[in-house]
């Protein structure tokens, strides 16, 4: 099919919307089967996610995490590779954040601690991606498999560290000590209270602004710097990029460290912003959801912000459903799976018919105008 | 004698742990040998475990559970084929979608059906006079020989008294080897994974071969799930596959996509799991090895193998690439 005749508003507008519509239709069938009116469910979800400053707080809190894990997948995808390791990278990033907060919290002012914990999140997450990256770059091991393996290795490692070193003596649950309050990232409701705006308590914290800034920085990196150009060149044609003088192994390692670091940032939101301690399974599948976010956002930072908001809405709205309808909270997981299925795996299903339809409509119109011109 | 007994117990647990891995890894072998990357084993195990336990509960028969589990797993496998073969979708994305969908659907539908937080009711219940679990198979004279030293341990404890699915798993290995390496279907399947153009030129439909390969994959993965829910635990609980699908994938790679070596990898991983389950870590050469390291060892070993440090694992050549005929 002649791709160049398809305008951008179809590829980035109509087709993604059609995919989401298919996912929504399938989700409606699931709801209908579970004896829930899909429209009522949608209304409950919208109200739960956007109906109050409390709902907004949770929605934006989840959005913040998804921006980080979505970007972690997307930057690597721009280089033509798949980073399924966000789960493990975010977990190890949490270790970095936790060590900084446990070690320096209360000893240095927050303004000094925050840059250190940001760097720690990036470095720890990035280093966890380094070994799969190096194996891919130098030894040709497939990065999808190695990053999956590293997710499990990260889980075991964190389990070991929490049980043997980080768990305070005399506690039963497997989690680190609570950080000193001076190291906490301020909550949004506290920050807004200072300027006289009152909103409900929620986990939303100031790392949301960092997420938005990072999304912009990633855009700048990918489209306005030489390294970003190298990454995209490799993604669209690796052998061509190599011929043009770009080091493929070097680019693989660089972009994987960046991807891992971005996943590590998630810990700022979840650990330093909300939980204030390292808990077991704190990533909670958000690394995997990042893949869905990146897919929906078409691997573009601005698309990812929008997709993150959608997934924040699904997560928060879905968890409201369980109070409303006593449906299992994991209905959210079904919704996520359907979105990945229809906008990822089955994205060509809607693409070809829509493109064909567009071409037929435009060619008919052109024929009609040519006939008119001929008559005149 | 005590050492002998504990070795027998670990080997016994090894067989039990290796069974779902063998089924799932063989399932992955059919898929990957035909050129379809399959990280969806986890989801197939989960959905078949759920369908198997539910059907066994409603019908009271483990065999109906097996049938339902296989059918559910086949549906998901064919969905994978629909996305990756018919629509040239990304294999990894499709696999991920199936895993996530299976995790969500089993919990949400399970909770709707049984209202037990996503669990199915127990398949063995005296109150309901229900026994829908597979029964262990006791070999002849196993009871009589149980007290004989050495032989009793090996025969009565280690070899006898497993569920029928355990024996089937070990029978499936030579069977799959025969199908893959000694039949026309197997040759075509492997050729499709290495060079689909050549297969197409020979007048064989790549699409058909890959759909069939994923059909077999679904059936085998169904055995793995049903074994977990209807034999091993007699109940489905959400996320009970707990990474076994990924571990089977690791075993498949560790076994270099070959039946016998893959089975050995499954046994190795099963043994590591048995050691991790039994102890709070093992002491090797005076070092205390933490239990978490033993648990992570299958993944670490696979990464080391993939790095080419111990042998070389070469994947089927055309794996992960959609086959698109050139347009005239």
pLDDT at B287: 67
Query: H or E stretch including A117?
Result: helix A110-139
Rg (CA), chain A: 23
- A350 occurs within a structural domain: no
Mutate to test the interface with A, among B88, B96, B105, B272 (most CBs of A within 10 A): B96
Successive 10-residue mean pLDDT values, chain A, 376 residues: 68 83 90 88 90 92 96 94 92 95 90 94 96 88 88 93 86 86 90 87 92 96 93 89 90 95 95 91 88 88 94 89 79 87 84 84 82 78
Break chain B into its structural domains and give their ranges. Answer: 2-122+142-306
- A226 occurs within a structural domain: yes
B-facing residues of A in 56-95 (CB < 8 A) are 82, 84
Provide ipTM, 2 decimals.
0.85
Lowest-pLDDT range, A72-81, A166-175, B19-28, B48-57?
Answer: A166-175
Asked if the model's pLDDT at residue B163 lies above 70, the reply is: yes
CATH number belonging to domain B2-122+142-306:
1.10.3470
Q: What share of chain B is helix, strand, coil (3-state, %, to 5)?
A: 70, 5, 30
| Cβ-nearest to B108 among A34, A150, A152 | A34
Q: How many CB atoms are closer than 10 A to CB B75?
A: 16
Q: Does residue A280 belong to the interface with chain B, where contact is any CB pair within 8 Å?
A: no
CB contact under 8 A, B94 and A141: no
CA distance A87 to A287: 4
Residue of chain B whose Cα is closest to the Cα of A340: B97
CB contact under 8 A, B112 and A152: no
CA distance A314 to A316: 6
pLDDT at B122: 81
| CA quadruple B104, B106, B112, B117: dihedral sign | negative
Look at the block and give the residue holding tokens 């035909």: B34
CB contact under 8 A, A328 and B97: no
CB contact under 8 A, B107 and A344: no
For residue A221, what are its two tokens? 């990196």
Q: Using 50, 70 and 90 to split pLDDT, how confident is the model at B186?
A: very high
CB contact under 8 A, A153 and B253: no
Asked if the model's pLDDT at residue B242 lies above 50, the reply is: yes
Residue A344 contacts residue A295 (beta carbons within 8 Å): yes
pLDDT at B61: 87
> How confident is the model over B66-111, as pLDDT tens digits?
999 999 999 999 999 999 998 888 888 899 899 999 999 998 898 8
Residue A128 contacts residue A85 (beta carbons within 8 Å): yes
Instruction: Provide the phi-psi class of A35: left if phi over 0, else alpha when psi is between -120 and 50, else beta.
Output: left
Q: Strands B287-289 and B282-284: what pairing?
A: antiparallel
CB contact under 8 A, B93 and A340: yes
Query: Of A171-185, B153-167, B287-301, where does the model show the most confidence?
Result: A171-185
Quote the domain boundaries for residue A210: 62-314
Beta-carbon pairs below 8 A across chains A and B: 151
| Cβ-nearest to A156 among B110, B112, B296 | B296
CB contact under 8 A, B308 and A145: no
B-facing residues of A in 179-198 (CB < 8 A) are none
**Cα–chain center distance at B68:** 17
- A51 occurs within a structural domain: no
- A189 occurs within a structural domain: yes
Q: Does residue A156 belong to the interface with chain B, where contact is any CB pair within 8 Å?
A: yes
Query: H or E stretch including B54?
Result: helix B41-59
For residue B259, what are its two tokens? 């039946």
B-facing residues of A in 126-145 (CB < 8 A) are 131-132, 135, 139-142, 144-145
> How confident is the model over A281-320, as pLDDT tens digits?
898 888 888 988 998 888 999 999 999 999 999 889 888 8
Round to the nearest angstrom and report the end-to-end CA distance of chain A: 33
What's the burial of B1, exposed, middle or buried (CB within 10 Å: 0-12/13-18/19+)? exposed
Residue of chain B whose Cα is closest to the Cα of A342: B97
CB contact under 8 A, B112 and A35: yes
CA distance A215 to A262: 10
pLDDT at A4: 56
Q: Residue A187: which CATH number?
A: 1.10.3470
A327: chain B residues, CB-CB within 8 Å:
108, 111-112
Q: Using 50, 70 and 90 to split pLDDT, how confident is the model at B158?
A: confident
Residue A141 contacts residue B308 (beta carbons within 8 Å): yes
| Cβ-nearest to B97 among A33, A140, A345 | A345
> How confident is the model over B271-282, as pLDDT tens digits?
888 888 776 555
Lowest-pLDDT range, A304-308, B40-44, B161-165, B206-210?
Answer: B161-165
Round to the nearest angstrom and report the end-to-end CA distance of chain B: 73
């Amino acid at each position: 099919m002649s791709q160049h005749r398809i305008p951008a508003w179809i590829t980035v507008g109509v087709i993604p919307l059609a995919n989401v519509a298919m996912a929504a239709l399938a989700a409606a069938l699931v709801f209908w089967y579970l004896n829930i009116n899909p429209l009522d469910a949608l209304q409950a979800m919208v109200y739960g996610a956007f109906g109050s400053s409390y709902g907004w707080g949770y929605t934006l809190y989840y959005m913040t995490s998804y921006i980080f894990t979505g970007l972690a997948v997307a930057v690597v995808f721009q280089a033509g590779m798949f980073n399924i390791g966000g789960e493990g990278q975010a977990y190890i990033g949490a270790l970095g954040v936790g060590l900084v907060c446990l070690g320096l919290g209360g000893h240095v002012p927050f303004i000094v601690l925050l840059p250190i914990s940001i760097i720690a999140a990036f470095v720890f997450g990035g280093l966890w991606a380094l070994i799969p990256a190096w194996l891919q770059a130098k030894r040709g091991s497939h990065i999808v498999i190695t990053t999956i393996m590293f997710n499990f290795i990260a889980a075991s490692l964190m389990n070991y560290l929490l049980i043997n070193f980080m768990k305070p003596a005399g506690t039963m649950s497997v989690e680190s000590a609570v950080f000193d309050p001076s190291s906490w990232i301020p909550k949004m409701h506290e920050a807004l209270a200072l300027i006289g705006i009152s909103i409900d308590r929620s986990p939303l914290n100031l790392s949301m602004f960092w997420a938005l800034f990072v999304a912009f920085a990633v855009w700048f990196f990918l489209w306005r710097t030489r390294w970003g150009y190298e990454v995209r060149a490799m993604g669209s044609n690796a052998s061509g990029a190599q011929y043009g003088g770009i080091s493929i192994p070097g680019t693989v390692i660089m972009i994987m460290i960046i991807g891992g670091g971005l996943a590590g940032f998630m810990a700022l939101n979840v650990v330093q912003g909300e939980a204030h301690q390292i808990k077991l399974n704190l990533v909670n599948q958000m690394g995997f959801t990042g893949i869905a976010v990146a897919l929906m956002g078409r691997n573009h930072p601005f698309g990812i912000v929008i997709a993150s908001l959608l997934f924040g809405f699904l997560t928060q709205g879905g968890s409201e459903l369980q109070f409303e309808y006593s449906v299992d909270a994991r209905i959210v997981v079904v919704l996520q799976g359907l979105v990945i299925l229809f906008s990822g795996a089955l994205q060509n299903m809607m693409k070809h018919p829509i493109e064909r339809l567009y071409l037929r409509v435009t060619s008919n119109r052109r024929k009609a105008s040519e006939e008119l011109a001929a008559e005149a | 004698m005590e050492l002998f007994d504990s070795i027998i117990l670990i080997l016994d647990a090894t067989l039990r742990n290796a069974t779902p891995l063998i089924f799932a890894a063989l399932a992955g072998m059919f898929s990957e040998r035909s050129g379809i990357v399959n990280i969806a084993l986890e989801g197939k195990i989960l959905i078949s475990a759920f369908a198997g336990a539910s059907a066994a509960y409603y019908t009271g028969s483990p065999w109906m559970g097996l049938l339902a589990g296989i059918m559910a797993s086949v549906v998901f496998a064919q969905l994978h084929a629909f996305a990756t073969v018919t629509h040239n979708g990304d294999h990894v994305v499709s696999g991920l979608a199936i895993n996530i969908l299976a995790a969500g659907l089993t919990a949400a539908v399970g909770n709707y059906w049984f209202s037990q937080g996503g669990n199915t009711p127990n398949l063995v219940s005296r109150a309901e006079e229900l026994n829908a679990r597979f029964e262990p198979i006791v070999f002849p004279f196993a009871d009589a020989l149980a007290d004989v030293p050495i032989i009793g341990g090996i025969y009565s404890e280690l070899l006898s008294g497993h569920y029928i699915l355990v024996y089937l798993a070990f029978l499936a290995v030579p069977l799959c080897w025969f199908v893959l390496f000694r039949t026309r279907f197997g040759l075509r399947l492997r050729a499709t994974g290495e060079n689909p153009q050549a297969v197409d030129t020979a007048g064989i439909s790549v699409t058909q071969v890959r759909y069939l390969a994923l059909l077999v994959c679904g059936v085998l993965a169904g055995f793995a799930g049903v074994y977990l829910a209807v034999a091993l635990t007699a109940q489905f609980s959400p996320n009970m596959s707990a990474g076994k699908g990924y571990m089977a994938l690791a075993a498949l790679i560790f076994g270099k996509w070959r039946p016998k070596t893959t089975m050995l990898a499954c046994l190795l991983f099963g043994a590591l799991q048995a050691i991790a389950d039994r102890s709070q870590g093992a002491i090797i050469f005076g070092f205390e090895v933490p239990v978490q390291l033993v648990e992570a060892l299958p993944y670490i070993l696979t990464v080391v193998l993939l790095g080419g440090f111990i042998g070389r694992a070469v994947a089927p050549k055309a794996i992960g690439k959609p086959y698109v005929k050139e347009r005239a």
